[in-house]
Chains A and B, each alone.
Chain A
Amino acid sequence: MSRILSRRQFLHTAAGGTLALPLLTESSRPARAATAPKRLLICFTPNGTIQNAWLPKGTAQDFALGEIMAPLAPHKNDITVVENLTMTAALRAAGGDAHGLGVGCLLTGIEPLPGNQFAAGMGGPGSGWPGGISIDQFIAERIGKATRFPSLEFTVKTMEGNIWSRISYKGAAIPVTPMDNPSMAFDRVFGCDTGDAAALARLRAQRRSVLDNSLAEFEALGRTLGKVDRQKIESHLGGLRDLERQLAATCMPVGAQCTKPPRSTLVGTKVPKYNLSNEDADAGADVDIPARHDAIRQMVVAAFACDLTRVASVILAPSRSPIVMSWLGIKGMHHAISHTQDTASLIKIDQFYAQEIAKLIADLKASKEADGKSVFDNTLIVWCNELGIGSGHTHDKIPFMLAGSAGGYFKTGRLVTAQKGIAQNDLLVSIANAMGLSDVTMFGNPAYCKGPLVGLT
């Protein structure tokens, strides 16, 4: 293995070309779990919806899917539409942008911290970062130690590090940075170092001692700090401990019939401009969105099937999405359109997202566990949005859809109508319960919790 790199190679590898961490070898596959584990996948799409096109028509167990959900028809018996949930924390927040509040409260169920980091859309006092841990990270903390990655987070494009482009939080004001570069994501999750055995053993030993040294320094430093500073060091330390576990893991996929996905050649993107006029929006920059969705989907499905992680989140588009879906014949950015009366385009956009969710379901159904069941049988997908109605910036009637039963925990093929005023916190509790955390009775701000959501089990 050559250790001498030219400048060009340096930048190539530094940009995610060939180097892969952790050091993993193709040997020593560990024993497979005796019973297939449960998996959780959160899928976020933005800017509210068109309620009457989204909502199914009919009764709880006898309904027709709405126009937007038509692409999910093949999976109708496997989904649960949850309507009428209210994002109470967003409604009660003291300041902040409606989109930012929505996406910040969605999975945390608690008001954001006070602050002015994120301006309100129309000026005035903004909000700080979200005020607590998100449900996916909460679950990952409890069940994630069994796998190489406690959780994996993906996003569709490189977005600014702000409240609108993050959904997962390790705690108050600790956003989890999602992977925005499919080829680098592949290297991180599925990559293996190559070379002769002796060189690999050396490299592994080097990494071991460098990491040990770093862990010891972070631990020692953390002990000397006050609460606020210590949280920063502990978040970093958590990332290093994950790496440590990965060093000890093997490279070979470990699931029953799992194979590595193809390595996407897509790389990161420029951070998009949110303040473009629709005329100025560069539709050409977004035409690779479907390919990005494909790459992410293949990685999520393989990571579940190979039991590399049991918790994942995917931002199919960020809040206030400026994506121009020119491949659907749509002109203009999603966010800008959401503030117009062009419902036809908005329905098309949401149908596209429904189609992407349908593909995820189909691929998970096609992935088999050791016992012959599908990975989907043990999976719960949560499809969610930061607003009810985009043009009105509403925080009630949030469109939620569940797919999969989490190993038979949820009954599916249903339309669940929450009672007026019930907060999404109750759904978050149900999700934790479904993932096996039966002790969870509240999540987020306890004032908004009434227990698990009625009608799911």
Chain B
Amino acid sequence: MGGGGPGPQGGGLPGASPGPAPGASPGATSPGGGSGPGPQAPTLNCTKPDPGRSPLRRLNHVEYVNTVADLLNLPEATELASTFPPDEQGGGFSNNADALVVTGLLAGRYVEVAEQLAAVAVTKAKNLLPCDPTQGEAACAAMFVQRFGRRAFRRPLRAEEQTRYLALYMEERKAGTFTSGIEVVTRALLVSPHFLYRVEVGVPMAGATVVAVTPYELASRLSYGLWSTMPDDTLLAAADAGRLGTPEGIEAEARRMLTDNKAKQAIAGFHREWFGMDEVDGIGKDKADFPTWTPSLRSALKTELELFVEKVFWTDGKIETLLAAPFTYLNPVLAKHYGAPMPNSSTEFSRVDLDPTQRAGLLTNGALLAVHAKPNQTSPVHRGVFVREGLLCQPLPAPPAVDAAGNPIVIQPPVVTPGSSTRQRFTQHSTDPSCASCHRLMDPIGFGFENYDSIGRWRTMDGEAPVDARGEVVGTREVDGKFTGAIELAKRLAASVDVRECMAKQVFRYASGRAETPGDACTLQRLRERFDSRGHDMRELWVAVAASDAFRYRAVSGGGQ
């Protein structure tokens, strides 16, 4: 697969405009034709809040199991994830609201799992009950419905709901016990649409197309956006107390939430999906050419990638460090693989400084270099696509199905012959006009990575000739121009508005669980301004998105008419 990060769901068709403009609608961004600088930013009118789309969203399976584990105080419930059929995919990230639909099998599964969870939960009644039933069962049941219901629905129950759920208890109590009554209520709450979905109505306002979300809806947006689980008591208390009514109040909560381990887990999930880290698991290389490529090396490389991104994000946070750091985290197996100094520990991963003329951050990470390469050779195409789509957020058009004469084009990787360089093998991409119009956006970036072989090791020879790592970037605002080698490219990308803007978009997509729309232009612009004003600290994007219009308001039309 071509690699690169998740693209916008329903993203733009290839157009003719050269580069993305700041705040331009993503549907119109495309690296199409020309190579000049992009058009100037259109003047945005950001005086009125515009939250984009506000689709109804089901909890995905990760969110569901995290939520039931928190709600019922049953950490082992997270093991349930493997018993669900996989979530339907929506492009981009796994929490994309548009893809999360339910048909018969999953509807039934929710009912079964609710029975199991409730049966286990009532055996730990102390965790579940806010009161002692021996002091009055009916009053205790009512208090349970009120308190537990508020956590299950992530908002206080409406009076009608309180009555209805208490009636469920009372009906069961006639033939059963206090405990079985609590169990039935728990089951019913766990299969309610108000539990399984994030139902939002907003603060009603006659005639408005955009309304503020309620404090509880905002609390859920924060908790699922930053934690992939339900709000904790502190967050619900902040909603109760009206502390989520201003950007400042939200920001304070977001900063607290980022110090919680749940944020570490959720943001690791974001990076795993953005950089396609799970693709590492399946990568195979030709044994004859790469005998050192083994499952244990592959798994160590994946650990390195995860560790590097996590450490950079949580200790320094700067995008420049992520993209250009001359250090990484290695164990001895990897030190040998990279030809790097041995780490201090003989078994654990520890920080190792690398040769800054050979390695710079994410782009020269061995796992990613290996993912974006063929089993027997490098792939300037895939490496270029990773930069273009993943880091510049520019979706690429498909290869043409037929050539100029109308004959079908069959695309096959070139045959590796001794003595031929990578560049020679891909000449058709630059000489055949039907290839060149798009491949000029990928291959010349990928050629800059020729110092790294198919498994990410440094090399100076490509076949029988010295490596030629000259490359070129076109179609961007601040990265354009010729360069030599991945280090120069990494530094240029790290300092560019293009990558900062792309990162802001990716954080937006994940935290809000949907692709951006034209209406989100102001939100994205503010995210980028915050990013710039806080020293390009990636953590600030999460704070900024939490306090954005997209989080504080909703479109009355929801997912659309």
Show the binding face of A for B, using Cβ within 8 Å: 3-5, 7, 10-11, 13-16, 19, 21, 94-95, 114-126, 128-129, 149-150, 153, 158-162, 166, 170, 173-180, 184, 188, 202, 205-207, 209-211, 213-214, 217-218, 221, 224-229, 232-233, 235-236, 238-240, 242-243, 268, 271, 273-281, 392
Contact = CB atoms under 8 A, between A and B. Distances in A.
Contacts of A13: 116
A93 B17 CA distance: 23
Nearest to A169: B103
A117 B2 contact: no
Given A158-B86, A236-B102, A210 B119 contact: no
A125 B108 contact: no
Given A210-B188, A225-B56, A273 B282 contact: yes
Given A115-B11, A273-B281, A125 B397 contact: yes
A148 B62 CA distance: 31
A403 B108 CA distance: 32
Given A94-B13, A238-B103, A273-B282, 20 more contacts: A4-B119, A11-B80, A14-B113, A14-B116, A117-B91, A122-B399, A123-B396, A213-B165, A213-B188, A226-B558, A228-B560, A232-B56, A233-B56, A236-B101, A236-B103, A239-B103, A275-B283, A276-B282, A276-B283, A279-B286
Contacts of A162: 88-89
A243 B104 CA distance: 8
Interface in B131-161: none
B151 to A, nearest CB: 17
Nearest to B56: A229
B187 interface: yes
A214 B197 CA distance: 13
B193 A235 contact: no
Contact of A158 (B85, B92, B103, B114): B85
A129 to B, nearest CB: 8
Given A158-B86, A175-B101, A226-B557, A277 B108 contact: no
A209 B168 contact: yes
By Cβ-Cβ distance, the 4 closest A-B pairs, closest first, are: A124-B398, A239-B107, A277-B284, A280-B284
A342 to B, nearest CB: 15
A91 to B, nearest CB: 10
A332 B229 CA distance: 41
Q: Which interface residue of A120, A228, A271, A279 has the most chain B CB atoms within 10 A?
A: A228
**Size range of the chain B interface in the assembly:** 35 or more
B183 A3 contact: yes
Interface in B38-91: 55-56, 58, 76, 79-80, 82-83, 85-91
A3 B101 contact: no
Contacts of A214: 188, 191-193
B516 to A, nearest CB: 13
A242 B92 CA distance: 32
A217 B123 contact: no
A166 B103 CA distance: 13
Nearest to B54: A229
Contacts of A4: 119, 123
Interface in B11-30: 11, 13-14
Given A170-B103, A180-B85, A122 B193 contact: no
B259 interface: no
Contacts of B534: none
